[in-house]
Amino acid sequence: MNLVFLSNGFPPRHTAGTENYTAGIASALAQAGHRVSVICVGEWDSGPQPVNGVTRDTYQGVAVARLDANWTAGPDPNRYLYDNPVIADRVAALLDEMQPDLVHITSCATLSASVIRVVKQRGLPLVITLTDYWFICPRISLLHADGHVCDGQTSAWECLTCLLWGAKAYRLPARVLPAPVLRPLLQGVSRQPWLSRRPGLRGMALDMADRKARLLPLLAQADRLISPSRFLAAMHTACGVTQPIHVLEHGHDLGWADQVGPRPVNRPRLVIGYVGQIGEIKGVHILLAAIARLDPQQEAVEVQIWGDPDKSPAYSARLRAQAAALPHVQFCGRFSREQLAAVYGGFDVLVVPSLWVENNPLVIQEAFAAGVPVIASNQGGMAEFVTHEQNGLLFTPGDADSLAAALRRLLLEPDLLPRLRRQAPAVKTVQAELAELLHIYDELHSPG
């Protein structure tokens, strides 16, 4: 079968969760003998034109076409963030060249939802895997600017105030203008193309009424919607998605897990690991605050933080300052796939302290594959995959005291960690997911 994946990015240039998931499935399909191509964005905000060319390369047997784009260069950058006609035209030309049997979208962020339209205009079967909340939240995370988790069932005005929360364009008028005056003023200004180029507002789709009106009807054009977790599916249904959403958990390439060796006996310290992006919504500062609350037991733990500090330099600097007063905290930086066994094999427990409602964190399944229990925020897909007292522990999201209490239990209850480790669940393989996807592809490609 000739398959094309559309995604926001692709390795080795982009290596976050969705990009790595797409690469894993695409390369596995290529190894199984299918013709597989990927269309994604390379550059996103540089160059003189909305699209400045296409860079082509091959990654793990997959042909990749990277659109070098600049969303700020278009006549209406606000709308181009979610409905970009220039990218749509380039994707249309690439689809005409590639002539796929089916298209599978794993993210519309950066490409925009306009690519759905061009796929269906060509009469191609379309599968969309929901990997985050982009269709219902311009922040993608459902984490409100004031720190609370949003349910997504909000008005355009509520979304706009969230996006403008920390901006002078909102704060100053909000102090002096009554709501009946402020609301139409800001709604009118938010439709101005220049606004999304301003410092503090870059990359935010501010015309929320238009965004909401466009995205769900486009999403409804998919022939099959897939979610990797029940929670993510339920959130989209609650926010107005009417078609069935098929829950299909991600599969994983587990070849590396066989290389995880036995854990050293009588380690001098409990080794606590964090793996992931270094960003505030990931809650790494909550982990460090919890370690600070372990006094006088701080000497009994070691913290290893794995992730790229350059993605958010200011936040990384804050973390280093926070860790300065703590013993045995290591900032380990990025690592390659070849290091997975060594990284996870060095942990006694993985902590996933995310403030946002992650739907199916890859790191949880990687930890289980390595036989490492997980302590996670009690929300979203994290609570769906971590069963409290069985394969890990759950704590109150954003609550350092609650996390510290969970960590303290591992120090004070000698039987707890071995019990959690023994009960780590089996992890779904990429081969199992591949079989499920191919069944879906065959149904859509050869209906009846």
What does the pLDDT read at residue 263? 77
What does the alpha-carbon distance between residue 161 and residue 121 come to, in Å, rounded to a whole number?
Answer: 35
From the number of C-beta atoms within 10 Å of its C-beta (0-12, 13-18, 19+), residue 388 rates as middle
What does the pLDDT read at residue 385? 96
What does the alpha-carbon distance between residue 94 and residue 100 come to, in Å, rounded to a whole number?
Answer: 10
Classify residue 39: in a domain, yes or no.
yes
Classify residue 182: in a domain, yes or no.
yes
Give me the CATH number covering residue 14: 3.40.50.2000
- Shared domain for 7 and 24, answered yes or no, is yes
What does the alpha-carbon distance between residue 312 and residue 305 come to, in Å, rounded to a whole number?
Answer: 14
What does the pLDDT read at residue 157? 79
- Shared domain for 17 and 127, answered yes or no, is yes
pLDDT in tens, the chain (448 residues): 999 999 999 998 887 889 989 999 999 999 999 999 999 999 888 889 989 999 999 999 999 999 999 888 888 888 888 999 999 999 999 999 999 999 999 999 999 999 999 999 999 999 999 999 999 998 899 998 888 999 999 888 788 888 777 766 666 677 767 777 677 766 666 666 556 556 555 555 567 888 999 999 999 999 999 999 999 999 999 999 999 999 999 998 888 999 998 877 777 899 999 999 999 999 999 999 999 999 888 889 999 999 999 989 999 999 999 999 999 999 999 988 889 999 999 999 999 999 999 998 999 999 999 999 999 999 999 999 999 999 999 999 999 999 999 999 999 999 999 999 999 999 999 999 999 999 999 999 986 5
- Shared domain for 412 and 360, answered yes or no, is yes
- Shared domain for 214 and 106, answered yes or no, is yes
- Shared domain for 273 and 398, answered yes or no, is yes
| Domain coverage including residue 84 | 2-140+207-251+430-445
From the number of C-beta atoms within 10 Å of its C-beta (0-12, 13-18, 19+), residue 42 rates as buried
State whether the Cα torsion 112-113-114-116 is positive or negative: positive
- Shared domain for 134 and 280, answered yes or no, is no
- Shared domain for 190 and 215, answered yes or no, is no
What does the pLDDT read at residue 290? 98
What does the pLDDT read at residue 106? 98
What does the alpha-carbon distance between residue 258 and residue 140 come to, in Å, rounded to a whole number?
Answer: 35
What does the pLDDT read at residue 369? 96
Tokens of 63: 């042909």
Strands (E), 164-240: 224-227
- Shared domain for 213 and 113, answered yes or no, is yes
- Per the structure, how many domains does the chain have? 3
Q: Identify residue 327 by its one-letter amino acid code.
A: P
